[in-house]
Structure 1
Amino acid sequence: MADLRNLFVTPLYRAPLSEQGPIDPRELEASCISIAEDDEAGQEWCEANGYPGYTSYASLTDLQWRFPIFEELVRVLDKHVAAFAEALGFDLEEKPLRLEDIWINILPEGGTHGSHIHPHSVISGTTYVAMPEGTSALKLEDPRLPMMMAAPARRKGVAEELRQFVYVAPDVGDVMLWESWLRHEVPMNMAEEERISVSFNYAWG
């Protein structure tokens, strides 16, 4: 009898943020909006670089010291990342993964975030602050895709682990984690309301 094994898995971690500690979602959303309104450097960077909406990625590196809610958020994220690292079987040699970057994303109607990776980190992720009905899911790409030059397309309805792209629709309050080499994107926000999230990178060593 043939033996079929799935090798080299690509894990995706999804959990309620509150599973590792309480975070007030309304305070987090209000803080994101307040920071975006006051961050003139970030607004200028977004306009100069054609970024739809707002991101603090290029302007602010100290969110956890600006608002207490972000300090609480980092404490909760640390626990989620530690749980994911354990599930991945990482041998961290008693050096825990540490937060490297954390930033706000606000995508208006029609906004997108193109396909990318986070090459200088180990674990990356996002927690979802506002996800209006009809907004875009997270799109994840099979990391083997560039090597599939001659492969035929997959049949519609094929098992998730065989698909070349997987779409995951998070709920408000979810945290999602993946290894930083995994290519991902946010397709166009088709909702009239803003899609708000907080993304982050964790490094080691």
Structure 2
Amino acid sequence: MTQIRSLFVTRLYQAPLSAHGKPIDPEELEATCLSIAEDDEAGQDWCEENSFPGYTSYASLTDLPWRMPIFKTLKKALDKHVKAFAKDLSFDLGDKKLKLEDLWINILPEGGIHTAHIHPHSVISGTTYVAMPSGTSAIKFEDPRLPMMMAAPGRTKDADEALRQFIYVAPEVGDVLLWESWLRHEVPMNMAEEDRVSVSFNYGWGN
């Protein structure tokens, strides 16, 4: 009997942030992100020096959960989401837990992009979405096998999602996405006039 199975599956977790932890007002979170961006001169300088579109706190602020109560609440919710995803992935964590390593703000203006990248040295990465104006970019994920496909033909437009080489996900405000940190992803150009605001993070293991 013929059998066709899916092997080496890449998992993507998507859920409302409010599914775990205390509810967080997206407007309050957005206002907090914009206020921090306005005051963070070191982050502004880094973005300018590195030709980074918009603003990110990645290279300047490492203590947002300590600095602002709303980020402390956010961390507690994310901890629960990551725990649920790790269970789905059947991770054998031993006597250690996955812990938040980095959490940073992203503000992507019209015309801004985040080029394709991975998050080395982390286990789970993700983003929660704070402001997603109409027409703004989805996040794009790349099949991790793509560099090894060599002579393989492309896929048809109606191919099953699990067989496509690129997947676009358009989350809503208040959603959280989680993926394993080796999964290459990018944010195509923001075509909306308003800023696209999100908070990204990495979780590590073994520390």
Q: Using structure 2 for the length normalisation, give the TM-score.
A: 0.98
**Structure 2 SS opposite 1:71:** helix
| Structure 1 runs of 4+ with >6 Å offset | none
Deviations 1:151-199 (A, max 9, x none): 0111111110000000000000000000000000000000000000000
CA distance in 1 between partners of 2:105 and 2:45 (Å): 15
| Residue in 2 that maps onto 1:135 | 136
- Structure 2 residues without counterparts, runs of 5 or longer: none
CA distance in 1 between partners of 2:56 and 2:142 (Å): 23
* 1:25 partner amino acid: P
CA distance in 2 between partners of 1:80 and 1:185 (Å): 22
- Structure 1 residues without counterparts, runs of 5 or longer: none
**Structure 1 SS opposite 2:168:** strand
CA distance in 2 between partners of 1:3 and 1:121 (Å): 35
Worse-superposed segment, 194-203 or 25-34: 25-34
| Residue in 2 that maps onto 1:203 | 204
| Residue in 2 that maps onto 1:112 | 113
CA distance in 2 between partners of 1:36 and 1:147 (Å): 40
1:51-200 matches, within 5 Å, as: 51-200=52-201
* 1:37 partner amino acid: E
CA distance in 1 between partners of 2:112 and 2:82 (Å): 28
1:17-36 matches, within 5 Å, as: 17-21=17-21, 22-36=23-37
**Structure 2 SS opposite 1:152:** coil
| Residue in 2 that maps onto 1:47 | 48
Deviations 1:123-154 (A, max 9, x none): 00000000000000010000000001110111
Give identity over the alignment, percent: 76
* 1:187 partner amino acid: P
Deviations 1:81-103 (A, max 9, x none): 00000000001102110000000
CA distance in 1 between partners of 2:29 and 2:69 (Å): 10
| Residue in 2 that maps onto 1:38 | 39
Aligned CA RMSD, in angstroms, stands at 0.6
Question: 1:27: Cα distance to partner?
Answer: 1.2
**Structure 1 SS opposite 2:2:** coil
CA distance in 2 between partners of 1:68 and 1:125 (Å): 20
| Residue in 2 that maps onto 1:14 | 14
Question: 1:43: Cα distance to partner?
Answer: 0.3
Aligned length: 205
CA distance in 2 between partners of 1:24 and 1:152 (Å): 46
| Residue in 2 that maps onto 1:5 | 5
